[in-house]
Amino acid sequence: MDHNLKAIVRYDGTDFAGWQIQPDARTVQGEIEGALSRIASQPIRIQGAGRTDAGVHAVGQVFSCHWPKDPDTDRLRRSLSSMLGPEIRVESIEVVPPDFNARFSAISKRYAYAISLTREPDPFSARYAWCVPWKLDIDYLRTLAASLVGTHDFAGFQCSGSDTQTTVRTLYSVEVVPGGIAGPCDARDLYRLELWGDGFLYKMVRNIAGSLVDIARGAVPESRLMEVLNAPGPFHGHTAPAHGLALMEVQY
């Protein structure tokens, strides 16, 4: 009798071609499936909560899978982390009901986009934050971010290449807080844009981050935000780089 497992993982996405398994590319899903298959001595397939793009990180990615034997979850977690580290670390593994699915059981997600307000990249944040050398008004950035809270059709913030059935999403909160994607660190002038919502479209967070920064630095007028929000899509504007983004938490 197999068991349904839920695991929480964190990873540095710098050297991966994203989460989703791809032919001839190194992916997070591929690395985890390979390690689990070796432990189980048979093929294991996993379902992730979200498909992070190439270069995107995760602090709280979730995956589920069917395990073919009675699991010692603590031993399995330690073995898996040892095989995958240091780029991937398994935070926890637990047995869950048979109908749990990491993707389809999720009710909300929280993402963070980190920006560094130093004129030159800081060595302690360069891999995990977008270095924004322009002068930004952080209070203005907070006001702009808060205007996106609510239920909207975010088609204008979606890049092409998605087969999503509906582009309506609800953002419960959009905040700008001090610190990087994993909290405070030694890097200077680090802030993160935190978005909590019931779902996110393809590159939606990066497109929002790029748009907010462009407005806050005076490159485009404030009216641009509502123009994009009311546009049919796909997004036309500044997509912030992948390395500043992290999936922080998936809620069930």
Catalytic residue positions, numbered: 53
Which residue pairs, CB below 8 angstroms and at least 24 apart, start in 191-194? 191/114, 191/115, 191/117, 191/138, 192/112, 192/113, 192/114, 192/115, 193/112, 193/113, 193/114, 193/115, 193/141, 193/145, 194/110, 194/111, 194/112, 194/248
DSSP 183: B
Q: Distance (Å, rounded) from C-alpha 148 to C-alpha 73?
A: 41
Whether the bond into 234 is cis, omega within 30 of 0: yes
Query: What is the Cβ-side half-sphere exposure of residue 104, based on CA atoms within 13 angstroms?
Result: 5
How far is the C-alpha of 131 from the C-alpha of 229, rounded, in Å?
Answer: 25
How far, in whole angstroms, is CA 77 from its chain's centroid? 22
Q: Are 106 and 8 in contact (CB under 8 A)?
A: no
Take residue 193 and report the two structure tokens written for it: 């844009």
Point out which residues pair with 114 in neighbouring strands. Answer: 192
Other CB atoms within 10 A of residue 1 CB = 5
